[in-house]
Structure 1
Amino acid sequence: MLDQIVNRLGPVLAGAAALMAIGATSARAEVTLDVLYTTPGTFNALHQDLAKRFTEAHPDIKVKFRNPVASYEEAAQQILRDQITGRPPDVAFNGINQISLFVDRGLGAPLDGFATADGGLAELGYYPTLAELAKYKGKLYGLPFAVSTPVLYVNADLLAKAGADASALPKTWPELLALGKAVEAKAGSPATGFYYQWEQTGNWLFQSLVTSKGGRILKADGCSIAFDDANGMWALKTLEDFGKSGMPNLALGQARQSFVAGNIAILADSTSYVAAAERQIGGRFQFKTVAFPLAVADGRLPAGGNVAMVFAKDTERQKAAWKYVKFATGPVGQTAMVNLTGYMPGNEIAVKTPDLLGAFYAKSPNHSTSIQQLPLLTEWASFPGDNSLKIIEVIKHHTESLVTAKRTAEQVMPELVKEVSNLLPKCGG
């Protein structure tokens, strides 16, 4: 009797076992990626949209976002804390200048093998210049997601009141400051003629002055400062001149809101805000972006913005993470990114395809300024060692003393050099 029951149930049990095996396989195959990004005001809608599109195409991979943080420095601090607890995110969209910070601490999966298996970076469409900036010690650790360059935001209407043409701006900072003063005198209402967003994350706009003069932040050894020269002094003196001109000291968000309200004539800022500025201005005045002034013909500009890095350790999670970062930084992902922000794409295919961004740039001159500066891009220097984030704060503190006219460049330079040098690790140590 028992044998008959077993024989009768055999096919049923076998089918059930097969279904269980399939279910187990599906359960093992499904991956939920833990993803961290920054600047929610800029990126919330974009990342939600990208995750939705991705999971529709890859139903076996889910995307779960951590609560986004406000800045790259906050993200870095969180990731380093997560390393201690063994819970770093699988994917993080973090500052281009932080790649070495993570890799030196054993975080970040090299992506060269994944890229090669998919035909290589050129075949995938990444700009060579930007892909190179995502490498560290010869290995690829990130893919460019949202890249920014420094530019001038110009209120052409305010300039016109001072008899100036936004299409023919001066090319030097002293001339721009003088023009700003002329605007203030003739605006007819309270206005700020010129503002420089000195407190941008990672000392980015301080670095922009140094590299635009042909200087460097770090020497070739990677752990000694290089801005203690004539180029660095020029950058500090330029910030001092901004302070002496009477330029107010505004928080980054305050300056942007003042510009879109029509109260700043010339604003030096990141292209990351272009799309938002256009939406907020809404045609109330003529808004134009102009290339960031170079102090010398061979000057360079640090590439700002963020890259997608993979922190997952497990092989299967790394494969899933690669698919996600490849999508977010690929032609479709980059098209969505550009349309929702003012950042420059890292993927050339998107820019050259008419149905993606080709037509967009043809009719969006304010966004095109960033693309035109692509050949000028250089590294956004990251300070090595355990004090990397602290050094950023030290430079920020000294920079503020200049733009508030409390100190001079001659007073700041020796103290800045000493403090930063004491926080850097010994080369080879």
Structure 2
Amino acid sequence: MSLSRRNFLAISGAVASVGALAACGTGASAGQKGDGTIQFWSNHPGKSQAVEQQIIDAWNAANPKTPAKLVDGGANYEELGQKFNAALAGGQLPDVIVASDVTWFNFALNKATTPLDDLWTKAGVKADTYVDTLREDYAYNGKHYGMPYARSTNLVYLNTELMQKAGLGSSGPTTWAQFAEWAPKLKEANGGKPALVIPDGKNYLDWYFQGMVWTFGGSYSKDWTPTFTSAETIAAGQFLQDQVKAGNIAISNDAVNQFATGGAAGLLESTGSLTGLTKSAKSPFFTAYLPGPKPGAATGGAGLGIPAGISDERKLNAVKFVDFLTNTANTVKFTQATGYMPVRKDALDDAAEKQFLAQNPNAMTAIRQVNENTKSQDAARVFVPGGGTRIGAALDRITTGKEDVKTVFQQLQDDTQKVVDRDIKPLI
């Protein structure tokens, strides 16, 4: 069978531990009581620190007996995960953490975060008001270990003026083959600069490339079997390398700025960059789906988890806080400030959101795409320990490093299989 997220979670209940994140379990003494303040560890996805603090201020005004404090958890999801691991090994645990599409599962698998379903009932949280697909992304072994927060897909951003100058209209390419046909025209329209810029392997190229692989008929894995050496996956890697060699695609450690300043006609980036780009881009742009055939994009972003090693009282307060942080009004506020997708079903009925989307049609692209052009990610990236980092490094080797695709992907295949054999197979 193919490994959908639900199929995987159904068969993985026997897994007890993985030698990766949170390998030492809860570490700290069970039932930590804390100091009465809800400690919220965030990496501020989408440069959201200011809006996070606004929402927290509103919570504190309404809940003075259980105030929340915003704590800087690191510059990205990985740094926050490392900080949480340190706390698990014997430090003071937070009450709420941001957990990414990659980190949440390892935390749940190792019982570092707590199942939320019973807490939802006790706190009166209406879990069915979350967008079903986003809520179920955090399901494992019949329980949920996260609540949707900064959820995203990836988009193509295209410079409106350069698209018109190249005679390509106001719609994105429908396939990657069509992009390759368009690229020389876009380069010419922009003085020879790349047609598209994509973040490098240290900035989630492994996430962006995943959709491209699917459109070539490939994948990172099938069930627990890596598929980096399949003909289709290698073809996708070769296409990416060829486009980089031709100057059609640039790989950058600051792709957003390169596009914003006119250094490329197009950008492949998260929806979470939309609001910032709207403010910083020197030229008008529009957003488009990733090229197909469908599905051409992966869901992503982060949810919110609650540590297992804190007291029941802290857990209950934490889930109430998360419910507030992600309620309809606040998910509208948060997503308008960042570009992420609203996580509550009724957000699109909100008057302020309707007005915002009417005035900002670029924001609607991701909302439509999540239902039309996405699927859940392959296990080799999000469930196999270290998958994203391992894949990203390999993609850097074939793009900026110009190494042979088959050789690099064979090593990636072998390295991934070793991790599966060592950390996964003995436990299922």
TM-score bracket for the superposition, by shorter chain length = 0.7 to 0.9
* RMSD between superposed Cα atoms in Å: 2.6
* 1:408 aligned partner: 404
1:258 and 2:258 matched: yes
Shift of 1:233: 2.3
Native 8 Å contact 1:40 1:69 kept in 2 = no
Shift of 1:272: 0.8
Alignment of 1:24-423 (within 5 A): 31-39=36-44, 42-117=47-122, 118=124, 120-122=126-128, 125-167=129-171, 169-187=172-190, 189=191, 191-199=193-201, 200-201=203-204, 203-213=206-216, 215-220=218-223, 223-247=224-248, 249-252=250-253, 254-281=254-281, 284-294=282-292, 296-297=293-294, 299=295, 301-311=297-307, 313-355=310-352, 357-375=353-371, 376-381=373-378, 388-389=385-386, 391-404=387-400, 406-423=402-419
Instruction: Write 1 or 2 for the structure with the bigger share of helix.
Output: 1
Secondary structure of 1:107 counterpart: coil
Instruction: Report % sequence identity.
Output: 25
Native 8 Å contact 1:243 1:402 kept in 2 = no
Secondary structure of 2:302 counterpart: strand
Counterpart Cα distance in 2 of 1:255 and 1:178: 22
Q: Which runs of 4+ in 1 moved over 4 A?
A: 212-216, 247-250, 381-387
Query: What letter matches 1:423 in structure 2?
Result: V
How big is each residue's C-alpha offset from its partner over 1:144-177, in whole Å with a ceiling of 9 and x where there is no partner?
A: 101111111000111222222122x332223213
Greater Rg over alpha carbons, structure = 1
Counterpart Cα distance in 1 of 2:54 and 2:256: 26
* 2:15 aligned partner: none
Native 8 Å contact 1:247 1:403 kept in 2 = no
How big is each residue's C-alpha offset from its partner over 1:236-260, in whole Å with a ceiling of 9 and x where there is no partner?
A: 22322232222575434x2211211
Q: 1:201 to 1:37 in 2, by over 3 A?
A: farther
Q: 1:145 to 1:398 in 2, by over 3 A?
A: same
Shift of 1:193: 1.7
Query: What letter matches 1:69 in structure 2?
Result: G
TM-score when normalising by structure 1: 0.83
Q: 1:214 to 1:76 in 2, by over 3 A?
A: farther
Shift of 1:97: 2.2
Shift of 1:393: 2.6
Shift of 1:127: 0.7
Secondary structure of 2:269 counterpart: strand
Query: What letter matches 1:412 in structure 2?
Result: V
Q: Which runs of 5+ in 1 are unaligned?
A: 1-27
Shift of 1:387: 7.5
Shift of 1:378: 2.7
How big is each residue's C-alpha offset from its partner over 1:271-302, in whole Å with a ceiling of 9 and x where there is no partner?
A: 11111111112xx52210011112x34x2532
Q: Which runs of 5+ in 2 are unaligned?
A: 1-32
Secondary structure of 1:373 counterpart: helix
Q: 1:257 to 1:385 in 2, by over 3 A?
A: closer
Counterpart Cα distance in 2 of 1:300 and 1:164: 21
Shift of 1:41: 6.6
Native 8 Å contact 1:233 1:413 kept in 2 = yes
Secondary structure of 2:74 counterpart: coil
Alignment size in residue pairs: 389
Secondary structure of 1:308 counterpart: strand
Counterpart Cα distance in 2 of 1:242 and 1:236: 10
Counterpart Cα distance in 2 of 1:334 and 1:130: 13
Secondary structure of 1:31 counterpart: coil
TM-score when normalising by structure 2: 0.83
